[in-house]
Amino acid sequence: MVGNKKIVFEKYEMGKLLGKGTFAKVYVARNLSTNEFVAIKVIKKDEVIKDERMMEQIIREISVMRLVRHPNIVGLKEVMATKSKIFFVMEYVRGGELFAKVAQGRLKEDAARSYFQQLVSAVDFCHSRGVFHRDLKPENLLLDENGDLKISDFGLSALHEHSPNAASHSGSAGSKLLHTQCGTPAYIAPEILARKGYDGAKADIWSCGVVLYVLLAGFLPFQDENIAAMYRKIYKAEYECPPWFSAEAKRLLSRLLVPDPSKRICMAGITRVMWFRKGFKRPNAFSMQESMFEKFDEEEKLMKHETIKKSPSSPAFLNAFQFISSMSTGLSTMFDDERRKPDSTFTSRCSAKVIMGKIELIGKKFGFKVARTKDFKLRLVGPAEGRKGRLSVTAEVFKVAPEVTVVEFSKLAGDTLEYIKFREEDIRPALSDVVWTWQG
């Protein structure tokens, strides 16, 4: 706290409250070193840990926003945590919701086309990464200071079950069907209402069609005071185009708002339509290698001669992304970056000091040289040359709550089979008295 100003992590000066929900509040903040303004979502950690659905939603949102770095998507800069709170540091989008602009009246066709082009470009990129938004609507489309569109709120999004590239740009029939009914009724695709499984890409394309109609008309294509009647209109795609719609726009809408998803136009088809192509410039998606998140230093020298230094009484806060990743089996496979992921993780109710001492003893028992590379991170170097050189393993300890400690094991060098043997036959049995649960 500096005067009346609250400083978090000695990095951000917190500003006014932008909005709040059940478990989270969003503030504007200023980066003290760059003067850049950001939006910070603050989430109560104890509520997240107690609520499995909330945990899943946060895991999903972090994993999705890590995958979809694009000029027309709100960027996630970093995620941090204290004992009691998780902080999402996001791009601050000053222009408000596109909904507010549409609420003032319909847009001219060129303006509507420009926003639709940006929307399709971003959604197409999401689909190429195996991400389906599932709640596309003007309220979730923000405008920056230049008037460019930014997709936000990936809390209801879905991730393809396999690799990010497994989902095609068009949402192929081979994609695994989704079954969760979610989204906003007026923008929801008919196949979602049918509760029979649906292709996430095709459902997003329907919502894009509804958004385009709203931009051009200033009102919804499917509306009725009776929700059942509105659903019947959606099932049959019963809508009327106002007289000011151009013939080309009507033709595109007739291919977007098709009840049968197998007959609905795909993303590649949209980008070939002449009405869409007018003035279109495809943005360059940000390189996925430009991760804003902490990476492990793979070039560290083996600490053969480093002495173990005195550490503080408790570990530093755990990067929230690491914490949530460690609590979610298989999450790490969803990311396409160079960050070294933990090979195995366990949680414990013992203190960090006890766990560190235990791992040191185990390492020395099996002939490993043990050194502390930084506070609460150990390096274990094997006693002999293996098939691929000396085995080198790290063990890092994090405190995530007063009663919960997380320990991550990673192989830095050496043969993988030798590492698995050491981990499964030596490490795991020897740590049985301090382990609460294993992941990975």
In SS3 terms, the chain reads as CECCECEECCCEEEEEEEEECCCEEEEEEEECCCCCEEEEEEEEHHHHHHCHHHHHHHHHHHHHHHHCCCCCECCEEEEEECCCEEEEEEECCCCCEHHHHHHCCCCCHHHHHHHHHHHHHHHHHHHHCCEECCCCCHHHEEECCCCCEEECCCCCCEECCCCHHHCCCCCCCCCCCECCCCCCHHHCCHHHHCCCCECHHHHHHHHHHHHHHHHHHCCCCCCCCCHHHHHHHHHHCCCCCCCCCCHHHHHHHHHHCCCCHHHCCCHHHHHHCHHHHCCCCCCCCCCCCCCCCCCCCCCCCCCCCCCCCCCCCCCCECCHHHHHHHCCCCHHHHCCCCCCCCCEEEEECCCHHHHHHHHHHHHHHCCCEEEEEECCEEEEEEEEEEECEEEEEEEEEEEEECCEEEEEEEEEECCHHHHHHHHHHHHHHHCCCCCCEEEC
Which residue's structure tokens are 């890590």?
66
Please report, for residues 219, 414, 419, 420, the alpha-carbon distance to residue 384 in angstroms, rounded to integers and kept in the order given: 72, 11, 13, 16
Known binder of ligand: residue 45?
Answer: yes
**Catalytic residue among 46, 110, 124, 135, which?**
135
Length of the chain: 440
Residue 135 annotated among the catalytic residues of the structure = yes
What are the backbone dihedrals phi and psi of residue 269, each rounded to the nearest 5 degrees, phi first?
-65, -40
Task: Using alpha carbons, select from 105, 123, 121, 104 the residue that is nearest to residue 113.
Answer: 121
Residues comprising the binding site for ATP?
45
Q: Which residues are catalytic?
A: 135
